[in-house]
Amino acid sequence: MTTAGGIDTGMTDKVLRGRVLTFVRRPRAFDDDGSYEFWDDGAVAISSGKIVWRGGFGDLPNDYAGMDVVDHRPGLILPGFIDAHAHYVQMRVIASYGTQLLDWLERHTFPEEARFEDAAYAEQVASHYLDELIRQGVTTAVVYGSSHKASMDAFFSEAHARGMCMIAGKTLMDRGAPAVLLDTARSGYDDSKALINAWHGKGRLHYAITPRFAITCSAQQLELAGTLLKEEEGVYLQTHLSENHDEIEETLRLYPSARDYLDVYETAGLLGERSLFGHCLHLTDRERDAMRASQSVAVFCPTSNTFLGSGLFDYDGLRDAGIPVALASDVGGGTSYSMLATAAEAYKVCQMRGYSLNPLESFYQMTRGNADALSMADQIGSIEPQCAADLIVLDSLATPAMTVRMETAESLQDELFVLQTLGDDRSITATYVAGRQLK
Ligand SMILES: [Zn+2]
């Protein structure tokens, strides 16, 4: 048995054979063949949890010729999917009927999140959540816990046991919610700091300082979040921004001196390349300029935005303005754990705005694009030497309806579009985490 970063990587040395696809940059058009590398009979050599070589199977170097070969043909081998925004503590409120953001939080979400003070309950849900990600081919996620420190100890412990690369944090909320969910500006800071000391940099885990949103955070709490962000090397910041009109109005009522919603976070020093802002649906021009100038990431959560009736994300507009974008499920406001379903909904949202998101770009976005938005493109999201062997195998013939549709598919792009439009967890036939096959 060997270990890397505290993760058991024993038995991971092997070669996967199949159709191998990885992106090298953001695709600019449906036929942008320079944006990806593809081997119809390809191989990925894995050693100690990392990719050491990839290319055509016939070109496999002698060094790897003695390794066990796992033949996934005709499966399509891709980097594992990355979900840039999700709430693991909302597994039991996903698919809740009839509300928009603020009522949805009050009626469904807050009562459920209150249960995560109980460490045993948190462990059970964290375990269910991570197993579901593996079933869906999601190998990295950026995750919100509840406001309880116990919720994050449970989550990190379960993620570490699976060897998964995760970015997560306890939500900070010192007002505007039931008392059982509230921390204080000071206790939120202290608990976050303790979690960073315990988990950040352990194995493949990373911490995200997580003020829920301006409505549930006092100015003092946001200021301390900014202090923590400056104090701690390499941590992330995640929060929500400009999701719903009532939310924006309430934020500006609570922060009367703010120029706009983003200014509340800006004043607290929360913007930057490692800062992820969920939704960004109704940004003003000034907010866009500030996002671009700080290279803060706008996170597109299409199934959540349509489910909660929040609005339509301006994907191509923000991208073309030079703002980093990421794609995410936002479970449980979002309606699916599947990044394929998320990409399918992203396509529809873009269509509603007159833009046809091409399948090369959506698959890029779910892999290398999201890795790039997380400043982790050197570690995950690509099938490149030195990247973690977080890999999935996709089956485009997973259902009878897909098989019939695939009879008329003429290109890789067609196949990817069928996968995202008709596929689900049945299309994920294998999930490897640091070289270990977990599905
Ligand atoms: Zn969210």
- Paired tokens of 191: 């608990």
Residue 253 CA to ligand 1 center (angstroms) comes to: 22
Residue 145 CA to ligand 1 center (angstroms) comes to: 11
How high is the pLDDT of residue 3? 41
DSSP letter for each residue of 160-186: HHHT-EEEEEPEE--SSS-GGG---HH
Averaged pLDDT for residues 340-367: 98
Averaged pLDDT for residues 288-312: 97
In the chain, helix, strand, coil percent, each to 5? Answer: 40, 25, 35
**Mean pLDDT for the chain overall:** 96
Averaged pLDDT for residues 211-238: 98
Dist CA 173 CA 243 (whole Å): 18
pLDDT at 357 over 60: yes
Among residues 48, 129, 32, 88, the alpha carbon closest in space to that of 332 is found at 88
How high is the pLDDT of residue 97? 87
Residue 7 CA to ligand 1 center (angstroms) comes to: 29
The SS3 assignment for 137 reads: coil
Dist CA 218 CA 88 (whole Å): 24
pLDDT at 274 over 90: yes
- Paired tokens of 310: 């929040």
How high is the pLDDT of residue 123? 98
Residue 329 CA to ligand 1 center (angstroms) comes to: 9
pLDDT at 283 over 70: yes
What distances in angstroms separate CA 319 from CA 271, 275, 326, 385, one per listed residue?
Answer: 18, 16, 10, 28
400, 61 contact by CB (below 8 A):
no
Dist CA 163 CA 10 (whole Å): 12
Residue 85 CA to ligand 1 center (angstroms) comes to: 6
In the chain, ranges of CATH 2.30.40.10 domains? 3-80+382-437
Distance of CA 115 to the CA centre of its chain: 24
Across 6-15, 78-87, 111-120, 387-396, least confident range: 6-15
Averaged pLDDT for residues 398-403: 97
Kindly indicate whether the domain formed by 3-80+382-437 is annotated with CATH number 2.30.40.10.
Answer: yes
pLDDT at 6 over 80: no
Residue 88 CA to ligand 1 center (angstroms) comes to: 10
Sign of CA dihedral 56, 60, 64, 70: positive
Peptide bond into 74 cis (omega under 30): yes
In the chain, ranges of CATH 3.20.20.140 domains? 81-337
183, 174 contact by CB (below 8 A):
yes
Give the CATH fold of the 81-337 domain: TIM Barrel (3.20.20)
Residue 278 CA to ligand 1 center (angstroms) comes to: 6
Dist CA 306 CA 347 (whole Å): 12
Q: What angle do CA 320, 325, 329 make, to 5 degrees?
A: 140
Averaged pLDDT for residues 28-41: 97
208, 438 contact by CB (below 8 A):
no
φ, ψ at 287 (rounded to 5°): -65, -40
pLDDT confidence tier of residue 12, bands split at 50, 70 and 90: confident
pLDDT confidence tier of residue 4, bands split at 50, 70 and 90: very low
**In which element (H, E) is residue 40 found?**
strand 36-47
Dist CA 115 CA 119 (whole Å): 9
Residue 231 CA to ligand 1 center (angstroms) comes to: 25
pLDDT confidence tier of residue 427, bands split at 50, 70 and 90: very high
**In which element (H, E) is residue 133 found?**
helix 119-135
Residue 359 CA to ligand 1 center (angstroms) comes to: 25
Residue 178 CA to ligand 1 center (angstroms) comes to: 18
pLDDT at 9 over 90: no
pLDDT confidence tier of residue 256, bands split at 50, 70 and 90: very high
pLDDT at 240 over 70: yes
Residue 337 CA to ligand 1 center (angstroms) comes to: 13
Residue 385 CA to ligand 1 center (angstroms) comes to: 33
85, 142 contact by CB (below 8 A):
yes
165, 7 contact by CB (below 8 A):
no
- Paired tokens of 119: 């460490």
How high is the pLDDT of residue 380? 98
pLDDT confidence tier of residue 11, bands split at 50, 70 and 90: low
Q: What is the pLDDT of residues 130-157, one digit of tens each?
A: 999 999 999 999 999 999 999 999 999 9
